[in-house]
Amino acid sequence: MAGQARVLYDFEGQPGTSELSIITGEILNVTSKDVGEGWWEGSNQRGLSGIFPAAYVEAIVQTYNVPPAMPPPPLPQIYVEENTAPVIQQQSQYDDDWDDDWDDDVSEVNPASHPANAAGGRSNSDVGSALDVNLAGLKLGDGKGTVRKNLNRFSHFVKTGGEAYILGASKVTATDSDYIQIIETNDGITWAPNPQPYSCVVASPKKESKLKGLKSFIAYQLTPSLNNIQVSRRYKHFDWLHERLVEKFCIIPIPPLPDKQISGRYEEQFIERRRLQLQSFVSRVSNHPILSRSDVWLHFLTCTDAKRWKSGKRKAEKDEVIGAAIFSVVQVPEKALDPLQLDSQTEAFGRFVQSFDTAVRTMQSNFAEQVKRQQGPYKRDYQRIGQSFRTLSSAMELLETAPLTRALAHTADTYDQIALLCEDQPRLDFEPMGDLLHDYRGLLASFPDIITVHKGALQKRRELERSAAEGKTESNVVIRAQQRTDVVSYTLLAEMSYFHQQRVHDYNAAAKIFLQEQIAYYQKIVDHLQSTLSQYKDV
């Protein structure tokens, strides 16, 4: 049993196949996620079983618990989330070709092809990306892909020398640019700000093609204020970068990339939405005091030369200052931290993350539903009101084309216009909010692991303290361990502080934009109605 899943979208199985028809809201028992090609197998509550598209359901995730005091043993190998191939295998696919064949933007998927029949092999493609179903209307919160290639940070921490670091046995070759500073200010413990803050604009997505038009993709133009030199990046470059950042910064949640999507990808609206989502990713990294200064990011942001790109890529992939090793380059205030206070702080933070994550999911699913409602039933309802006035006007026109007849026809047109407003509106309010929620689901999903990394370090420290009390460990080892776990704690506190600051800023801004757009929408309706009201004479 691979758990349960909630159905997000209706899917009608083809008769005579093993496909299971599923209904939005249903809870399915998932019996296998290994069906392949974006399909899962399971049964519904009426006892019927079969396969269904994984992209149409959302796995019911256990709510995050504050990690247990005793962290679980490290996993035998790097764990990656279901539906993505093991990282090692993936790595091999990143060859040095600037325009290699592993292409995220292949447009030649036969639109009539069925997921189960689609040419396979790209196990790291998003679930359901080959689906021929038009997902254009389902742009929000489909609950998949939010957490991309989410390494288990704790096992990564252990694998990359976490224990050795605490014990002071690690040796890391770091360059100056690697050093990370944490300071204490009036606002508490924070990252030292980037002395050269900059921003970056993502603009002008262009459809490009190669192999004589056989393959096509979108290239996005990034212009950092650092140097004002534009670089062109494809989704696969973002993807590669994202993986490097996750690997490197085991205690910083990396903003998620937008979900992959094939259907309707060349429609203008989709491209613009994707651009906005990538802009959000780029801004989040550019604004982050630590991420914004990392070599790999700056390489991504500034490299304009294919040859330098390849060497920078290789260098980044061989970076040793990743995972636990990063703590060796963190400079923290001298003050020792109180482990008890830390415990209660991280526990409260864990509870907050859990509750915030639930709220984000609730809003994401409610807003996604609202988008569907406005683009479907609401739109039709306005059109039906329009149709009522039109029929009335036409009937009266049989007798005469009086002012009333014309006014009624105008009102019919007005409601048709309102119907179109209603359909388009989510682009301006619900969808941007949905993008923010998508970002936060990605960010929040990292925290339970981050907390576990921290707990793991504290756990190791306590072991050493106990061992020293029993005379089994030298006191200088313990003191070193205490200093070094404080480094881990300082980084967590700095990132918590940064996260809160961003959260307040982001939600305040997003709620304001949402409300402003809602106001503008209803105001536009008022204006339309007022204009049609003026068509009626005083009789």
CB of 189 to its own copies, least distance (A): 16
Query: 58 φ, ψ to 5°?
Result: -125, 125
Q: Which is nearer to its own copies, 308 or 351 (CB)?
A: 351
Size of the site for its own copies (CB under 8 A): 59
Residues 399-418 contacting its own copies, CB under 8 A: 399, 402, 404, 407-408, 411
Q: Are 205 and 274 in contact (CB under 8 A)?
A: yes
Q: Please check if 461 is assigned to a binding site.
A: no
CB of 529 to its own copies, least distance (A): 5
**Please, what is the minimum distance in Å from the beta carbon of residue 261 to its own copies?**
24
Q: Could you say which of 18, 93, 302, 518 contacts its own copies (CB under 8 A)?
A: 518
Question: What's the min distance (Å) between Cβ of 413 and its own copies?
Answer: 13
Please report, for residues 375, 391, 397, 398, 407, the alpha-carbon distance to residue 539 in angstroms, rounded to integers and kept in the order given: 38, 22, 18, 21, 13
Tell me 213's DSSP state: T
Q: Does 530 bind its own copies (CB under 8 A)?
A: yes
Which residue lies nearer to its own copies by CB, 53 or 350?
Answer: 350
Q: Which residues contact 8 (CB under 8 A, 6 or more apart)?
A: 24, 56, 57, 58, 142, 143, 365
Interface with its own copies includes 388 (CB under 8 A)? Answer: yes
Binding of its own copies by 344 (CB under 8 A): no
Nearer CB in complex with its own copies: 203/402: 402
CB–CB of 30/54 below 8 Å? no
Cβ neighbourhood burial of 134 (10 Å; 0-12, 13-18, 19+): exposed
Residue from 170, 283, 366, 497 touching its own copies (CB under 8 A): that is 366
Angle between the N-to-C axes of helices 235-248 and 268-287, in degrees from 0 to 180, rounded to the nearest 10: 30
Helices (H), 73-124: 87-93
Q: How far apart are the C-alpha atoms of 144 and 128, rounded to whole Å? A: 10
Helix axes 306-317, 295-302, angle to 10 degrees: 160
> Which of the residues 345 through 364 are near its own copies (CB under 8 A)?
348, 351-352, 355-356, 358-360, 362-363
Q: Which residue has the tokens 């039933």?
A: 377
Q: Does 6 engage in binding with its own copies (CB under 8 A)?
A: no
Shortest Å, Cβ 420 to its own copies: 16
Q: Hey, what are 114's tokens? A: 């069925």
Q: Candidates 30-38, 266-274, 318-326, 398-406 — which segment interacts with its own copies by CB under 8 A? A: 398-406
HSE-up (13 A, CA, CB side) for residue 364: 24
With contact defined as beta carbons under 8 Å apart, do 40 and 49 qualify?
Answer: no
CB of 528 to its own copies, least distance (A): 9
Site for its own copies in 255-274 (CB under 8 A): none
Q: Which of 384, 401, 420, 466 binds its own copies (CB under 8 A)?
A: 384
Give me the least distance between CB of 399 and its own copies, in Å please: 5
> With contact defined as beta carbons under 8 Å apart, do 455 and 346 qualify?
yes
Q: Is 395 in the site for its own copies (CB under 8 A)?
A: yes
Determine, following the binding rule CB under 8 A, whether residue 206 of this chain makes contact with its own copies.
no
236 annotated among ligand-binding-site residues:
yes
β-pair partners for 6:
27, 58
Contact between 115 and 53 under an 8 Å Cβ cutoff? The reply is yes
In 3D space, the residue among 165, 248, 218, 151 whose CA is nearest the CA of residue 461 turns out to be 165
Q: Is 428 in the site for its own copies (CB under 8 A)?
A: no
Query: Least CB distance from residue 356 to its own copies, whole Å?
Result: 4
Q: Tell me: does residue 398 bind its own copies (CB under 8 A).
A: yes
Distance CA 60, CA 474 (A): 47
Residue type, 5: A
Q: Would you count residue 315 as binding its own copies (CB under 8 A)?
A: no
In the annotated binding site, the residues are: 234, 236, 274
Residues near its own copies (CB under 8 A) are 348, 351-352, 355-356, 358-360, 362-363, 366-367, 369-370, 373, 377-378, 381, 384-385, 387-389, 391-392, 394-396, 398-399, 402, 404, 407-408, 411, 500, 503-505, 507-509, 511-512, 515-516, 518-519, 522-523, 525-526, 529-530, 532-533, 536-537, 539
